[in-house]
Structure 1
Amino acid sequence: MQPSPNGPDATVALLREALANPTTAWSLGSFGAIAEFMRDPNEPILTLPDERLGMATTRGAIALTPSSDLRPVAYETAVSSGWNHTLALCLPEATCAMNRRTVVTELGPDRNAARVEDRDGILFDLGLGLLAVDACVRASDPEAVAQLRAGVGMPLFDHANPIGPRLVAMSPHRVFLARIGRVEVYAPIPGPGGTSPEGPHTHVLPKLLRSGRTHAATTPIPAGWVPCAGLHPAHPYKDMLGGRIAFDVGRYEAFQTLLYRWGDPELVAIKRGEAETPGGTVSSRHAQSARRVADAQARYLRGEIIESLASDDEDAEATA
């Protein structure tokens, strides 16, 4: 029997190729809590000291341990100014679960840290109760460790928890864990009114966390699967920070190749005009989005200019 063209070996090859490309960004998290890793083309990287796939920089790290049931799912979603694209890394709902702690919990030294020098740092689960991700922080400074220990046993967002008001000043390493690996962020946490730094960063949004969702309603993840992480290839009209660039046909075609291989065949057929109505596994909402993406891409390919600069982030999509 021939191996599946989209089997585990193909998935590992996909991850290796994406990791080697500095224009690919990465995310690991859930709806409302996410860690992102990216790097500059000439940024020095450190090879991981073990067999995990990934790398570290002075700003963050990614370390992946793909399992045989890891399923990449490529998709595009329509937004006001055009479209977003992602290749989600999904696990079966039955096997994706992490610890789902609901209070701040001290876990001890982080022996699996991406960098050897961080392995004596003390890891604390923030207790966000997410299905497929443990959102943690790590500290080595004794004062920071003591401040984090003062909040152990309480929910992070409890007004009585002393961690919340001190977290920005402490700026511990953020370490997001899933069954498929981890993303670490070393950059300082921006203060109130601040913006996320260029490069690796995290978002924790309590309002979205309260929904209990694993992903936005606009995201066409197959039933029974949960996205734990994602890779974000270079976008045709946006840079890594969402700023506009001249439309790049090569980037467009590169993601179409991924979409046709790793995307939902029914949605791909709808987008290409080969199917008019969705079947039993695709919602009308996702089918409509696929058609909107096709229309927007056709306008870009014809050289037309779309003036809207509306936000393209996932949080905006979730309210659509």
Structure 2
Amino acid sequence: MILNIAILAAVAIFGVVLWWPGLRASATWRAMTTPLASIIGSGFLVLGPILDNQYGALAPAVMLALCLGSYLLGGAIRYNMRAIEAGAVSWPQGVETLASWALSFAYIVSVAYYLNLFGAFAVSLTPFDDVIFARIVTSAIYLVIAGVGWTRGFKSLEAMEYLSVSVKLAIIAGLLVGLGFFFAEKSGQGALVFLDPQISGWAALTLGFGLIVTVQGFETSRYLGATYDTDTRVRSMKWAQWLSAAIYMTYIVLITYTFARDDLQFSETAIVEMMGVITPVLPLLLVAAALAAQFSAAVADTSGSGG
């Protein structure tokens, strides 16, 4: 009971803070929502079990490497933003145009993937937990995003994105509180788990490179130039990466040392069932967080593709 109250209180407090008018009026914070939406997207909830199972007790170190690597990639994009937009670099126009078209199509695939996950989570706790109903939900949300973007433009998409990002971050705060209590309880009982890695060498390296997709998304800042100036986008990208790295590191540390390998699950919605062992309120919140995460990420990449 106390844990449920603590989790719900954390969600409520962070929700109020994120909806505070002073914060919402900040151009930097509004510009942060697009990269944040894309970074903390589909990969967040499934990343914990994957890292824990494959890398064992070394999972936090791998997560740190992923965050550092993504920050360096972001640094390259920030450099390009400043140099290209200031006219300091003369790129062949054909190369820039070809790259933009390639990335635009990649975003289309990305949006479809996010909304496919949205449909899966939307029906996961209902009697209609079936692939057909999931795809009906996916198609309906796809039409909503396309319709709003086509008729109302970026500002309306950004407003939808801000709401979903706020919901997602508030629920993640509650999730971390729940995991923190669970971690403290396990620690007090001397029952923390230190799993041996399942992979090493080349396999560990290639999986790590594959998991970079779970921490990317910061590049969407590059394509918001019609709304925000260069300095604002550079600053917001940095802050979005710092905040997401802090969330990822906390989440991975708490989950790595509390779940045995037999308790780990790897389906799209597995984390919902896993968190049920902590408290019944978490699965419900996580479904809402997953829906908000997929929706916000889809909207962010739609904006990036348009930009």
Which TM-score band applies after superposition, normalised by the shorter structure? Answer: under 0.3
Report which structure shows greater RCO (CA 8 Å, sep ≥6).
2
Larger helix percent: 2
If the length of structure 1 is used for normalisation, what is the TM-score? 0.24
More strand by share: 1
